[in-house]
Amino acid sequence: MTTADTTPAPENHTFEADVAKLLHLMVHSVYSDKDVFLRELISNAADACEKLRYEAISHPALLGDDPKARITLLINADNRRLTVEDNGIGMSRDEMIEALGTIARSGTRAFMDRIQAAQGGEGAQLIGQFGVGFYSAFMVADRVDVVSRRAGSDEATIWSSDGKGSYTVAPAAVDEAPARGTRVILHLMEDAASYTERYRLERIVKEQSGHVPVPISLVEKPGAEPQEVADGAALWVKPRSEITPEDYTDFYRSVAGQFDEPALTVHFRAEGRHEYTALAFVPGSTPFDLFDPDRHGRMKLYVKRVFITDEAELLPRYLRFVRGLVDSADLPLNVSREMIQESPLLAAIKKGVTSRVLSELEKLAQNEPQAYTKVWEIFGPVLKEGLYEDFERRSTLLGLGRFKTTASGGGWRSLKDYVGSLKENQTAIYYVTGTDLARLETSPQLEGFRARGIEVLLLPDAVDSFWVTAGVDYEGKPFKSVTQGGADLAQIPLLEAQENAGAPATEAMTGFIQSVKATLGEAVADVRASERLTESAVCLVAPETGMDRQLERLLARAGQLTSAAKPVLEINPRHDLVVALANLGEDQQSLREDAAHLLLDEARILDGELPADAKAFSQRLARVMRRCVP
């Protein structure tokens, strides 16, 4: 400030009576991270430089002998002071009062009305109004001075406030003001002194403002030379031909916070009705937060190359592993830049980016199957969430699916491969769900399918129990559980090596099955001869209209199931043990009853469960074993 006697006294302006409440709202409610103040001030500075660039098209003299836009951060650690300066369009006295006093004069009620208006319609866009983000400076400063000089003017003005009820406006000495542009001086609070540390400022700039369209330099201490920390060239706006794989990898590592290499890079610009640029990466390894219960995405949103938020839902949750950004020039925003306004434009961007990511995954699967297999091994369980969440893209996601099967030999098979290998009279895609691949491979329910050479999908992920029940089909073939309802295998011929597996049941066997059903009573929904067993004596399946047993178990563990359906016990009428039990005489009724309960417990154990009554199981087993001892 000038100290000349002729300098007019500062004009005192009193804020509205509720300004304290207003500033409290800005500091504590609108922004969740104090670092945001620097992003806001840099954003305002970049806006000022952009405005000058446009005005200079018709008035080139405004640039004078300083045509290159720049933003400079000046540190004065001894005085606990941080300055953000630009050589943009600057402000006159009246413009400064209007820009820096708008929200201060509006009062809390009017300010909240503006927030609601922004939420209620696309036309209300508060981004770019200097007074909005500017007040975030009071999160870290107990006083803020703003010195500004409009391009082409010989006068400069200083605005000053502690943010507690008033501000002053006075002329500033021209020799102490910027040649043009604005200088924001923050007198930092004691607990904000770390904002005079070079490395912290450099990190914040690179993370939040490193891609604004104006170079940013940092002066570490008074008299030091400026050091560039951001070159003002956003990687994503460059032509792909000018970007090397190393450039993409470096950028991916900075935006994703990982040290691997991306498995897939998606970079495109959408033009037409909605214009935006997207740069997205599929990581090459598992992100630590892949199974975050909140399932938040990690795509960053930029507007005019200014960071807005990393919490925008720019992709569906089943693509939350994708890292990157979207840059839009005209996306409607609300007051804080952290809470973007839901709008048709945002929905269009989400749809476009999602379709492009899935399309690039399809190309990768077709052109580089081994590379895609690695992606599926890491992110397959997450992608499968989309099969019950995203009906519109279900067909695409099914095509992207890769599965271990009873015929894959440990490798991966697509549904296209599966359908191409359907057996004669096979009308469904068969699957079995569980929690362990090795256990699934030995499930007794698979035996009848193997006997006929029918391929079965092995689905060990928890999400599999949900998407298969969502009415999914592939090329007209429904998905059917091998552990639910009847097997319906009679129309599919047995392999030559299994020709004797389908021998008809005897009268004695029919009677035995009926006696087992009578003995077990309410413990089971039914007891029947099995088409699906060729080696094991028994197995459990869900009723035709019941819930798949694995899904039932998952819901029960989550406390979302009050009662479970009774299972169906299937008995293999060709098994040696079962044949022997069926041929027992009427004088062996007690043994037949013990055997009925033991067969049910055996089926439970094969299904990964425990006997319903451990003591009764032990007693029955002891009685049967004693009969075998001479």
Could you read off the pLDDT of 455-482 as tens digits, one per residue?
Answer: 999 999 989 999 998 889 999 999 999 9
Whether the predicted pLDDT of 133 surpasses 90: no
- 22 pLDDT band, cuts 50/70/90, is low
pLDDT in tens, 542-579: 888 777 778 878 887 777 777 778 899 999 998 999 99
pLDDT in tens, 399-428: 999 999 999 998 999 999 999 999 988 999
Task: Give the pLDDT score at 44.
Answer: 87
Considering the chain, what is the average pLDDT of its residues? 85
pLDDT in tens, 65-107: 999 999 999 999 999 999 999 999 999 998 888 777 654 433 3
| Structure tokens belonging to residue 386 | 């989309």
Strand extents, DSSP E, 354-469: 404-405, 429-433, 456-459
pLDDT in tens, 601-618: 999 999 888 998 999 999
Which of 207-211, 377-381, 607-611 has the weakest average pLDDT?
A: 207-211
- 505 pLDDT band, cuts 50/70/90, is low
Burial 123-137 (b: 16+ CB within 10 A, else e): ebbbbbbbbbbbbbb
Mean pLDDT of 203-216: 85
- Among residues 360, 203, 380, the alpha carbon closest in space to that of 291 is found at 380
Burial of 32 (0-12, 13-18, 19+ CB in 10 A): exposed
Asked if residues 182 and 148 have their Cβ atoms less than 8 Å apart, the reply is yes
Work out the percent of the chain whose per-residue pLDDT is above 90: 52
Q: pTM of the full predicted structure?
A: 0.72
| Structure tokens belonging to residue 605 | 């154990």
